[in-house]
Amino acid sequence: MQLTQNLISDIIDITEKAGQLLLTFYSKSLHIQKKQDHTPVTDADLCVNQFLTAQIAALTPNIPILSEESCDIPLNVRQHWSHYWLIDPLDGTQQFIDHTGHFGILIALLEKTEQGFRPILGVIHAPLFGKFYYAMKGQGAFKKTAQGIERLKPKTLNPNAVIKITAGSISTWKKLLPHLSPDFRYEFIPYGSSGLKATLVADNVADCYVRIGQTGEWDTAAADIILQEKGGVILDFHKNTPLTYNQRNSLINPDFIMLNSQDEVWKQIFNISIKDS
């Protein structure tokens, strides 16, 4: 699979159209159901999922698609793929229902390597804010807004400054506190969907994002390549190893941490190792 500017441009265009479709549901009364994991799904999720699946299949007909809303493909089929698309048509469904604006569309392309499947292209789109974050392997990470395109730059962590940590709730923050070194100062930034919290890290608004709780592989794949190309990293919070994709029957992630740099000082803050990540 060749990564080209045409490919990323086409995926951004598809994502933008999906965002416009998603916003047509934003002011409507939604039909809300509960999935088996007790998380909500709406007609907006399903409609945008259908649109994205059809558009991406037309663009790359030989590459399979795995989506949060159509993820019942067994591992004994998935493990033989060389590439696949991984999408979340509405990241932050509850945020969408609650009209916080903190929801997005996530698309990633993954490739089979000797180390397992790794993201090689990713797009995160925040439709209500008109923002796109995207990256391709070896070509840098970027943010696109109405004002233009800018490259996402690495940030050297200043241990003397306040370390800004984003998470989803006060309960997560309380669970995290015992893992933080008392030698540093911290600020908690609550925010919406998993994908948009990742953009705070990519944008250097937050220094890291910690998730203690259930997410799917579709929640992290796009952010994974964006942060990698920016100079950051995503790690399993307990094992200090990179997240894995398409290696288990379950598509549920472990607890994780997203860092906007790979500075050695992170070892002191969280007592983690980022070597060889």
The domain spans of the chain are 5-151, 163-270
88 belongs to an annotated ligand binding site: yes
Helix (H, G, I), strand (E, B) or coil at 96: helix
User: pTM to 2 decimals?
Assistant: 0.94
pLDDT given for residue 275 in this prediction: 43
Q: What string of pLDDT tens digits covers the 277 residues of the chain?
A: 789 999 999 999 999 999 999 999 998 888 888 877 778 888 999 999 999 999 999 999 999 999 998 888 999 999 999 999 999 999 999 999 999 999 999 999 999 999 899 999 999 999 999 999 999 999 999 999 999 999 999 889 999 999 999 988 788 888 888 889 999 999 999 898 999 999 999 999 999 999 988 899 999 999 999 999 999 999 998 888 999 999 999 999 999 999 999 998 998 998 655 443 3
In whole angstroms, give the CA distance from residue 199 to residue 180: 22
Rounded to the nearest integer, the mean pLDDT of the chain is 92
Kindly write down the DSSP assignment for every residue of 53-95, as one continuous string: HHHHHHHSTTS-EEETTB----HHHHTT-SEEEEEEEEETHHH
Is 91 labelled a binding residue?
yes
Any known ligand binding at 90? yes
The answer on whether 264 is annotated among ligand-binding residues is: no
Would the annotation count 68 as a binding residue? yes
At 143, is the secondary structure helix, strand, or coil? strand
pLDDT tens-digit series, residues 188-223: 998 989 999 999 999 999 999 999 888 999 999 999
Q: Does domain 163-270 have CATH number 3.40.190.80?
A: yes
Q: What is the CATH number of domain 5-151?
A: 3.30.540.10
pLDDT score of 273:
52
